[in-house]
Amino acid sequence: MAKGMREIKRQIKSTQNTKQITKAMEMVAAAKLRRAQEAAVAARPYTDKIREVVASIANSGGSVTHPMLQTREVKRTAYLVITSDRGLAGGYNVNVLRKISSTLKEKHRSASEYALFVIGRKGRDYFKRRDIAIAEETTGLSDSPKFSDIKSIANSAVKGFESGAYDELYIVYNQFHNAITQIPVAKRLLPLDQIEVTGAKANYEYEPSAEEVLNVLLPKYAETVIYSAILESKASEFGAKMTAMGSATKNASKMIAGLTLTYNRARQAAITQEIAEIVGGANAQQ
């Protein structure tokens, strides 16, 4: 019995240590989530304004044309998949990888019909374990990523569409709604054949020409949307981590309560047995 009680006490101590770690990780994730949300919100005005200008030119009704605005027969599709470098984030990575896997199975009959651009170690390792080729990868993003961190892979994906190597470009990531809800989505980025003006329509004068401005702005707009998806993904990651560590902390508390109850019962049983033995010994001497 004493050995069993020592084991229970050891389990209680171990679970208490785990609880302290998960609680600290929950608090860190909460602080990082706030900063990630602020970064995502701060990037929206620039994204909205460049979308407004691009939509204004694209829908001007003139002879402005650009490869990124034209729909063509889909022979090959590119996917930019955004995951994290680390785990302990609940279903954050599992959900987005399940989303891209199901999309590939539904839309493509062979690996020659698609190309993968992957951000994050979890996504890279997932595809490498399954011997799925990766066109380009980026890992080691900081908790507050800058555009320069993903400029290379974003530029490669966009240039691939412009050059005709791919006929569609999708971004697959976790769309942030709140700390509890992150929804995996596969959003088509290119071609931009359905871009629309939102709100009041402004009149612009372009120098040297609308077409020249569009040639510069369209790639930048596509890269900006990718960067915005990165910021949303970071917010989703920290929200998922905060939720997962919060659940782990609650489960640890329940486990500690259950083990403490078991320990107290075992202790009471041991005391009762000792009393019974003392009483039994006293009666035997009479």
pLDDT at 63: 62
- Name the least confident of 6-15, 47-56, 157-166, 273-282: 273-282
Largest CA distance in the chain: 116
pLDDT at 61: 58
- Closest by CA to 153, choosing from 172, 138, 166, is 138
Domain extents in the chain: 2-26+246-285, 28-243
pLDDT band of 1, cuts 50, 70, 90: low
Q: Is the CATH code 1.10.443.10 the one for domain 2-26+246-285? A: no
3-state secondary structure of 170: strand
CB 124, CB 118: distance < 8 Å: yes
Q: What's the average model confidence in pLDDT over 128-143?
A: 95
According to CATH, the superfamily of the domain at 28-243 is ATP synthase, F1 complex, gamma subunit (3.40.1380.10)
Residue 62 pLDDT exceeds 70: no
Residue 202 pLDDT exceeds 70: no
pTM of the model: 0.86
Residues 6 or more apart from 85 whose CB is under 8 A from it? 120, 121, 122, 139, 140, 141
Q: Each residue of 69-115: pLDDT tens digit? A: 888 899 999 999 999 999 889 899 999 999 999 999 999 999 999 99
pLDDT at 33: 94
- Name the least confident of 40-49, 178-187, 255-264: 40-49
The residue that leads in pLDDT, 203 or 186, is 186
Residue 235 pLDDT exceeds 80: yes
- Closest by CA to 158, choosing from 70, 68, 232, is 68
